[in-house]
Structures are given as C-alpha cells and as structure tokens.
Chain A
Amino acid sequence: MSIDFSKAVGIHPDALRLRAERTKILASNIANESTPGYQARDLDFAASLRQAQQDGGDGLALDSGADALKYRVPFHPAQDGNSVELGVEQAAFAQNASDFQTSLTFLNLQLKGLAKAIAGQ
C-alpha cells in the first residue's frame, strides 16, 4: 500500500495556484486604476478550479488562456473607458489573499498529518 500524495493533499495545491494567478489579475487591475480604456478582469474561480482538477495534477491547468478571464461589470462606468473600481478591487484582493492563507493552512495541516503517518506516530 502506498500513499498517493497528490490525492492525499486534495484540492488545495490547485487552489493555491489559482489564488496566485488571481492575485496577479487583481494586482493588474489595481495597477491600471488610472489607465484610460483599461478593462478590469477577473477569473471565475470555481469554474477554473473545476477545470484545473479535471485536467489532472501535472502542470498548470490554465491553458484555456484568456478565455477563462471575464470582464468586470462596473457599478459606475467611467467616461474614459476604465472599468476599475478601487474599492471593489481592493476588497477582492484582500479576500483572495486571505483565501490563499486558508488554503495554505489546510495544506500545511495535511502535510503535517502525512509526516506523522510516515513517521509512524
């Protein structure tokens, strides 16, 4: 009997990878806050995670590329075509960062459990 590590750690490595990817997208929204014509984007986290799991463990299963990215619908459209709303993006960024920490904590606990199993404690 052997432990399949990728099964043992579950969904969290994929989730972490996606969280990092989403951080990049949100950071780019915040960075382009004053760029005329810039359209804020975001990824559909649930759909992307499902996709990442279906495609198997190896490699980053985000090859669907830019199609996976959706455009944000602004509450108050700006005249210069920029659809970044700083408050919305900052909230999404903070939420995403704390979800990243949560996944990381889960992963850490699972790794600790595995280490204990291996050590036979």
Chain B
Amino acid sequence: MSFKQISQIAGSAMSAQTVRMNTIASNLANAQSASGNEADTYRARKPVFAALAASGQGEQQLAGSRVQVLDVVESSEALRKVYEPGHPLANAEGMVFYPNVNSVAEMTDMLSASRAFESNVEVLGRVKSMQQSLLRLGEG
C-alpha cells in the first residue's frame, strides 16, 4: 500500500500552492511600489507548475504525479506609466512607473490557491483515516 506516496503527492501540491501564495502576497504588497525608471520597477511574479511523474519499478511506477515548481517568472506585461510630475520619484518627463500587478487577478488567484491547498489538506486527512482503519484490521 502506497500511502506514503499519496502523502508526498498531497504535500508537494501544498508546498507548490504555498509558493503561489507567496508570489501573490509579494505582488499585492508591491502593487503600488512606484519607480522612476522602467528597469527598477517591480514586475508581477508567477510560479510555473509542472507535473513530476513518479519514477520507479513495478508497483511504484504505476501512477501518481507530484507537483513541481519549475520556476518563478516575471510577467512581461507592460508597466503602468503615469504622469505625476509632483511625485518624488518622477523622471525628467514627469513620468512614474507602477508595477504591472493586476490586483483583481491576484485576488482571484489567491482564492484559487487557497482552495487548492485546502483540497489537498482534505486528501491528507482522508488518507490518514484510511491508513488508521487499515491498522485496526482484525481488531475486536
């Protein structure tokens, strides 16, 4: 019985969703971090997930893919350019650059990440009770 692998699968998903939450928190926190030039402006970060197929012999080879965070990439969307001559960071033309963070998209992404995390917690809980009842096999 491969309960250990199930826990590993659910655990990998939970840590992947945590990374996703981290980037969302960072994006939302920096949504208003203005900058005077394009290069220094914060860009929205997104994690890239990939399925990691289980490798092994016989029984273990069968199925079950863990989640792997391949990379965290910066969004290539255009930055928000605002004319604010009074801003202390404004450049010579009076322009200020704001990060390309879409707060609404980040909020919905956050809901989706926390829901996915919870589903995996549920999986872990259910697997734990399956394992425990298997241990009680033959008792009383």
Q: Which residues of A contact B (CB under 8 A)?
A: 16-17, 20-21, 23-25, 27-28, 30-38, 41, 43, 60, 62-63, 65-66, 68-69, 86, 90, 93-94, 97, 100-101, 104, 107-108, 111-112, 115
Contacts and interface: CB of A to CB of B under 8 A. Distances in A.
Nearest to B65: A28
Contact of A101 (B3, B113, B133): B133
Nearest to A89: B119
The majority secondary structure among interface residues of chain A is: helix
B92 to A, nearest CB: 42
B62 A30 contact: no
A104 B134 contact: yes
Given A21-B2, A24-B2, A32 B62 contact: no
Contacts of B36: none
B110 to A, nearest CB: 12
A97 B130 contact: yes
A86 B119 contact: yes
A69 to B, nearest CB: 6
Interface in B81-140: 112-113, 115-116, 119-120, 122-123, 126-127, 129-130, 133-134, 137-138
Interface of B: 1-3, 5-6, 9-10, 12-13, 16-17, 20, 48-51, 58-59, 61-67, 112-113, 115-116, 119-120, 122-123, 126-127, 129-130, 133-134, 137-138
A74 to B, nearest CB: 16
21 contacts: A21-B2, A23-B127, A24-B2, A24-B6, A24-B64, A27-B127, A28-B9, A30-B13, A30-B123, A32-B49, A32-B65, A34-B17, A34-B113, A35-B49, A38-B51, A38-B65, A60-B59, A66-B62, A86-B116, A100-B130, A101-B130
A31 B126 contact: no
Contacts, number: 113
Contacts of A108: 137-138
A74 B85 CA distance: 53
A24 B61 contact: no
A35 B50 contact: yes
B137 A111 contact: yes
Contacts of B126: 93-94, 97
A36 B138 CA distance: 44
Contacts of B3: 20
A32 B13 contact: yes
